[in-house]
Structure 1
């Protein structure tokens, strides 16, 4: 869980840098203020695709190497179920399942604060958020849902010997 929270902090930094780049390019191209971005559905959709692409690139680069910075800190290694390094299929599937489970939770809670009728949806999405963690409690190999579906597993990495 600590690795997950550390990963979240790192991902926030990556997303903030990517968003700053997107907004800077948007202003250079359109000469409009950043507030104009929220008025255009196409720009918002492009922004979302850009952020998801950057997040995918970050995780794909790290997972194909076996560890993100947070995983390295906590000595966790990500491999295929047979112990081999991850391929693009496993990376994409793990990212997609994790995204579907975890991504919608926060925005719906923001909306639910202003629209009481969305609270039930927010609670259901919170349950979806915790589904991969609950899955690991009942999985015979203690794998998360996204690891089970992608055919990956987390292992404890041996200590590094910095000579």
Structure 2
């Protein structure tokens, strides 16, 4: 979970650059202009970021924490499997996003987000290999990777 939080901090840079590019291309002068289009654009940019790094084994945060994404056989994941993993990772956020889209107040959405993330993390303890369910569904797993050992 610490790697996940660190990844969130690094994503600020990705969001900044992608939003700057979006605003330049769409001539937006306000962050809420073209909001739905911006969210879709960021979803695609995040997908490219994660699928590209995961198909090479690690994101920047995962390198720091010595975590690698591999297939169930231990081989590097393909671009398609990395993309599938990215889409399935959004299960972490679906209920809070759905609540937000139905007009639930922001504070309640944050409480729902915290509860859902905690529940999703606890559910990993019930998996036979104690991995997150989106990894099981995508046919991937997280392993400790020591860069000093070959």
- TM > 0.5 between the two? yes
Unaligned 5+ runs, structure 1: 28-32
Bigger mean CA offset, 6-15 vs 152-161:
152-161
Q: Distance in 1 between matches of 2:7 and 2:18?
A: 16
Is the alpha carbon distance of 1:83 and 1:63 closer, same or farther for their aligned partners in structure 2, counting shifts above 3 Å?
same
Deviation (angstroms), 1:38: 3.6
Bigger mean CA offset, 4-13 vs 59-68:
4-13
Q: Distance in 1 between matches of 2:94 and 2:2?
A: 19
Higher helix share goes to which structure?
A: 1
Paired position in structure 1 for 2:122? 134
**So what's the TM-score if we normalise by structure 2?**
0.82
Paired position in structure 1 for 2:39? 48
**So what's the TM-score if we normalise by structure 1?**
0.76
1:112 maps to 2:112: no
Deviation (angstroms), 1:61: 0.9
User: Is the Cα–Cα contact under 8 Å of residues 135 and 144 in structure 1 kept in the other structure?
Assistant: yes
Paired position in structure 1 for 2:81? 90
Tell which structure's C-alpha radius of gyration is larger. Answer: 1
1:71 maps to 2:62: yes
User: Is the Cα–Cα contact under 8 Å of residues 81 and 151 in structure 1 kept in the other structure?
Assistant: yes
Bigger mean CA offset, 46-55 vs 122-131:
122-131
Deviation (angstroms), 1:48: 1.5
How many residue pairs match? The answer is 146
Q: Distance in 1 between matches of 2:148 and 2:104?
A: 45
Unaligned 5+ runs, structure 2: none
